[in-house]
Amino acid sequence: QTAHFWLKKGWRAIMKTKKFLLIFACWASTLAAQEKPGLYFTCAEAEQYPTRIAYEIRDANDKRLAVGFEDLRSPNDTLHVDVQLPERFMVQVYEDANRNDKLDRGLFTQPIERYDFSNEAWVFLGKPDLEDALVQRQGPAHYLHFQLKDVLD
């Protein structure tokens, strides 16, 4: 009878430990699943993958909020920029295919690397008006998708 008592007590301790570990695992996965604030974006139609994407984020007053470069392995990759987004903002991206840290331009100053703007704002051989490219922030984490184009698209 004493052995049976100790087996039951040991089994209860094991079950309490498992219950604790299960609760801890759920809590930890909830924390890990929370996304960081900022901008998340994808870029399709790059000339090649992997590639390098340049981005610039501006507010409604045309003030630069963030600028940088990110490596993109595939059109399915999501890039993250840790930035405090205002209510309205715009993003411009381009593929820095030759990794020279600038948007290459042709003889008539037209971009020769693929690029895009937020809000699907597109102007042939130029940059759209700021108002046309502005998007409304959806929350602390905002998602955008860019379809890179060249001037002939």
Of the pLDDT bands very low, low, confident and very high (cuts 50, 70, 90), residue 31 is very low
More confident residue, 23 or 82: 82
- pLDDT above 60 (res 47): yes
Q: Give the largest CA-CA distance in the chain.
A: 95
Q: Model confidence over 135-146: pLDDT tens digits? A: 999 999 999 999
Q: Model confidence over 114-129: pLDDT tens digits? A: 999 999 998 877 789 9
Cα 141 to Cα 84: distance, rounded to the nearest angstrom: 9
* DSSP letter, residue 120: G
Question: Which tokens sit at 54?
Answer: 């340049």
Q: Which of 18-22, 49-53, 69-73, 142-146 has the lowest mean pLDDT?
A: 18-22
Question: Which tokens sit at 32?
Answer: 């890990």
The model's pTM: 0.75
Give the pLDDT score at 124. 75
| 90, 117 Cβ separation under 8 angstroms | yes
